[in-house]
A and B are shown apart, each in its own frame.
Chain A
Amino acid sequence: MAAYTLSPLRWLAVLASGALFGAGLALATMVQPEVVLSFLQLRDWGLMLVMGGAMGVTLVAYRFAPRALRAPLLGGGFDRHASVLDRDTVLGAAVFGIGWGLCGVCPGPAIAGLGTGNGQLLWALAGIAAGAWLQGLQAAGPAGPAAAVPAGAQD
């Protein structure tokens, strides 16, 4: 696995994709913690439509793009989301849910919400960054020589 080299065109493509994602989060009001909490408190089922709509479009792309195209339009290969069912996945998800239910902010909206000028979200963003740091401290390092990754790996 080599670093994904960002040509200017790829840079723009990634930015535009992120922008669609962010606009969708804002349109769906997922950048407002109150809306997420109202779903979790069963007062508004909107989040199901957001997840369902996003998942549906993604499903189609993930299924058909690798069949219709030999490679991504800007080169490289198609990645796969590979998840494993183990203790980490279940325990991690359980802890994630507790945090999400407490603050109503998940990793995407914590970033996107800054675009709406909501400075309060910096608290959540800092918390998430700290949590990711703690997880890295606690996790065992990678097995073997991958640990000696060259600092020159460019992106």
Chain B
Amino acid sequence: MNLLATLFPQGWAHYLAGGLLIGAGVALLFVLTGRVGGMSTVYSSTWSYLSRRPFFQQARFTDSRGWRLVYALGLVLGAAAFWWGFGPGAASGQAGGTAVPVWQLLLGGVLVGYGARRANGCTSGHGICGLGSLQLPSLVAVLTFMATAFITANVVLAVTGGR
């Protein structure tokens, strides 16, 4: 019990339930449509609407950009339904927020976008879909980004003294 409280100071059940729900979404998408639902590709495929560059006009982007945007819309609606229906928003009426400084969000975001697209996958693409199909390259990707993320987060913590 003590170990549980140490590892999961905020409790553990909502983490597991949330993970199962995410998995259910990816599984439902696959069973109904056969699509593999990582999230980072939508950031490249959506550029194909705006850019004529050959890179963005590749078939893998133009062929999937429609359903990927609908999937992204679903993400927003699902999170909204939970937050405002059952979650913190229902209790307090308050929107979500973060104390992470804008420069970290923006610079971190650029690196996240560049890196995820260069690696052709992110936490969901490699972490959930790639590991879920037992792909060795995805395991290497996950171990790599976990390692650099641990290091970065702890360096930031040490430098800023915990924000």
Chain A residues in the interface with B (C-beta under 8 A): 1-4, 6, 10-11, 13-35, 37, 40-47, 49-62, 65, 69, 71-74, 76-85, 88-108, 110-121, 123-137, 139-142, 146-147, 149, 153-155
Please indicate the chain B residues that have their CB under 8 angstroms from the CB of A13 in the complex. Answer: 28-29, 32-33
Q: Are A103 and B104 interface neighbours, CB within 8 A?
A: yes
Please indicate the chain B residues that have their CB under 8 angstroms from the CB of A128 in the complex. Answer: 43, 109-110, 112-113, 116
A72 to B43, CA, bound (A): 25
Chain B residues in the interface with A (C-beta under 8 A): 7-10, 12, 14-40, 42-44, 46-47, 51, 53-60, 62-67, 70-84, 87-89, 95-100, 102, 104-138, 140-142, 144-157
Please indicate the chain A residues that have their CB under 8 angstroms from the CB of B134 in the complex. Answer: 59
Which one, B78, B147, B154, contacts A112 given CB within 8 A? Answer: B78
Q: Are B105 and A120 interface neighbours, CB within 8 A?
A: yes
Q: List 16 A-B contacts (CB under 8 A).
A: A13-B28, A20-B74, A24-B22, A28-B17, A40-B153, A58-B133, A61-B26, A83-B137, A85-B136, A89-B141, A100-B123, A102-B108, A103-B112, A107-B113, A123-B109, A134-B113
Please indicate the chain A residues that have their CB under 8 angstroms from the CB of B59 in the complex. Answer: 1, 146, 149, 153
CB proximity of A62 to chain B, nearest CB, Å: 5
Please indicate the chain A residues that have their CB under 8 angstroms from the CB of B130 in the complex. Answer: 81, 83
Please indicate the chain A residues that have their CB under 8 angstroms from the CB of B123 in the complex. Answer: 51, 100, 106-108
Binding site secondary structure of chain A: helix
Please indicate the chain A residues that have their CB under 8 angstroms from the CB of B117 in the complex. Answer: 92, 131-132, 135-136
Which one, B29, B54, B112, contacts A96 given CB within 8 A? Answer: B112
Beyond the given pairs A71-B34, A123-B106, A153-B62, 15 more chain A to chain B contacts, judged by CB atoms under 8 angstroms and listed by A's residue number, are A1-B63, A14-B29, A22-B75, A22-B76, A24-B19, A44-B7, A55-B127, A81-B125, A91-B115, A102-B111, A103-B104, A107-B124, A115-B77, A115-B81, A154-B66
Please indicate the chain A residues that have their CB under 8 angstroms from the CB of B132 in the complex. Answer: 55, 58-59, 61-62, 81
A93 in contact with B115 given A29-B14, A40-B153 (CB within 8 Å): yes
Please indicate the chain A residues that have their CB under 8 angstroms from the CB of B44 in the complex. Answer: 132, 135-136
CB proximity of B126 to chain A, nearest CB, Å: 7
CB proximity of B55 to chain A, nearest CB, Å: 5
A110 to B108, CA, bound (A): 12
